Structure 1
């Protein structure tokens, strides 16, 4: 069996989780971490944490997970590509669209696998939702609504809520519907005294005419992670905090009231909560990237091209929100 040598760049919250998963991933040897910051441990999962990038790259890596602050993604991605190392880069793939496009070009020209850590794609509820939509459960898709709210994350300093959180919803919406964004509009607020937006309400239209709306903030005292897809046959509701998926079918019972029956509306029919195999999304993502490196088949991961489109859409939302900001 081929064993790939993998390391992690950045030992923040996500870097620690990636280290844990890689250390127990079949077919992978976790070799260590690079993080030049102060206050990080000297080892994790029994492996050294080095503050020297060249020393890290000299470990003979097959691939690395980049979990450093977004502003460093382009620089680190370039260094990895120059050494022939495949990379899974945490979302957003870059701070801006130009940097994202450059990263994509660097990895394409080097013939390396580049992926983006949009972990929501690997949530069991959304994976099941995507498959059921593809199988025709909902029929035509009319609308996708997401709500992503929670307390302020102290780990974020270099981007606003659009690029940190709304990028999840941009990616998963395009992915579950197999459509692209055609138009987007947004309203944003700056309530926490930072230079970046901390709340956004966004609407959009997808390539097949599906309409979308996204409510995202990190100033809510409670956590919510909900995706609702409404189609001609009913609605699918995914709670990605609990990885639950529920189907609300349109009612089929006829209306006795003639005035109502003449209006072709719908009522609630059967409700089904699907039993899902609830595997950890980060481990599923890690397995998919490992397999992509081994086979060269990137159909099971979020590619740099897809990650770039997410950043492009996010930038449009930020710009539109700024253009409508009251002064």
Structure 2
């Protein structure tokens, strides 16, 4: 395997983890780090902290990771594309669909790998869930519901909870179901005194007919990361904070307690929590990006897919402003 020279733009809360994984990844050598804000977490080690993306490119990198605030994604990505550097940009792809479209076009025109860091796809619980759905273990899928709640993160200043967190749920839902969103209806709240929303509730439908629901907020003292897929044979529950996957099967044993029949349309069956390997999602994501750059089979999240996710988020925000359902158009 050839060794790829890697550069990292941004060593904040997320960038520091990218630095660690890049240093540990086979076939990759972290050779340059840039951050105009310095090195707050002390991750540079023997490397000098470069001032900007131009200095990073001048180091002659083959691949780059962009982990700066969302509003800076487009500028960095377009410069990297122009320099011929394969790039992984943290989610969301950009702050607007138009910016994302320019990024997709630039990497396509240059024949480069452009990827987006939708890390939840690489969570072991969701990867196992996807595998079991593909194997037909649930039968027909009826509904996908997600809950992503927790306290406000002070590090996020340039986007609301929809682009920062709901983008995770929208991406993973379309990926798990292998079907795009066709419409959404959403409601938002603004409770923390910021210009951006801190809670969003989304309902919608996929092209496959699956109904989806997402509850996402920065207002809860309880941290929750749950995906529930309900279908013909029962329900899968994936907890991405622990990497656990549980299956609740429909019951086959008839109820003899008459008063309980009133409350249960489907009787309870067996409950199984699966055991499977649980690798760090960020490491698996980086391996997928590396493999894509090397031309090997890969499940990397492409910029085109990241753009589609952003378009759904924008449609949800438009719905919340208009108070009506919004059709999701392909970017």
Q: Deviations over 1:262-299 (max 9, x none)?
A: 999311111110002111100010111001100165x4
Q: Which residue of 1 aligns with 2:312?
A: 313
Give deviations 1:77-119, integer Å, cap 9, x for gaps. Answer: 0100111000000000000111111100000000000000000
Paired residues of 1:125 and 1:244 also in contact (CA < 8 A): yes
Using the TM superposition, give the Cα deviation of residue 36 of structure 1 relative to its aligned residue in structure 2, in angstroms.
Answer: 1.3
SS, match of residue 307 in structure 1 = helix
Aligned pair count? 324
How many Å separate the matches in 2 of 1:3 and 1:73? 26
User: Contact (CA 8 Å) 1:20, 1:45: kept in 2 or not?
Assistant: no
TM-score when scaled to structure 1?
A: 0.94
Partner of 2:218: 218
**What residue number does 2:328 align with?**
none
Report the equivalent of 1:245.
245
Moved more, 236-245 or 34-43: 34-43
Deviation, 1:46, is 2.8
| Residue of structure 1 equivalent to 2:176 | 176
1:258, distance to aligned residue in structure 2 (A): 9.3
Separation (CA, whole Å) in 2 of partners of 1:321 and 1:70: 22
TM-score for the superposition, normalised by structure 2:
0.93
SS of the equivalent of 2:214 reads strand
Alpha-carbon shift at residue 259 of structure 1 (Å): 11
Match of 1:286 in 2: 286
- TM-superposed deviation, 1:76: 0.4
Separation in structure 1 between the aligned mates of residue 119 and residue 215 of structure 2, nearest angstrom: 19
Partner of 2:92: 92
Q: Are the equivalent residues in 2 in contact too, given 1:236–1:246 (CA < 8 A)?
A: yes
- Structure 1 partner of 2:323: 324
CA positional deviation for 1:59: 1.2
Q: Deviations over 1:187-219 (max 9, x none)?
A: 100000100000011101011111010000011
3-state secondary structure, aligned to 1:295:
coil
Contact 2:3 2:27 survives alignment (8 Å):
yes
Corresponding position of 1:12: 12
The change in CA–CA distance for 1:76 and 1:320 in structure 2 (over 3 A counts) is same
Does structure 1 retain, via aligned residues, the 8 Å contact 2:205–2:212?
yes
- Unpaired segments ≥5 residues, structure 1: none
Tell me, in whole angstroms, the C-alpha distance in 1 between the residues paired with 2:255 and 2:192. 51
Once the 2 structures are TM-superposed, how far is the Cα of residue 34 of structure 1 from its aligned partner?
Answer: 1.0
Q: Tell me, what secondary structure is at the counterpart of 1:55?
A: helix
Q: Please report how far the alpha carbon of residue 164 of structure 1 lies from its aligned counterpart in structure 2 after TM superposition.
A: 0.4
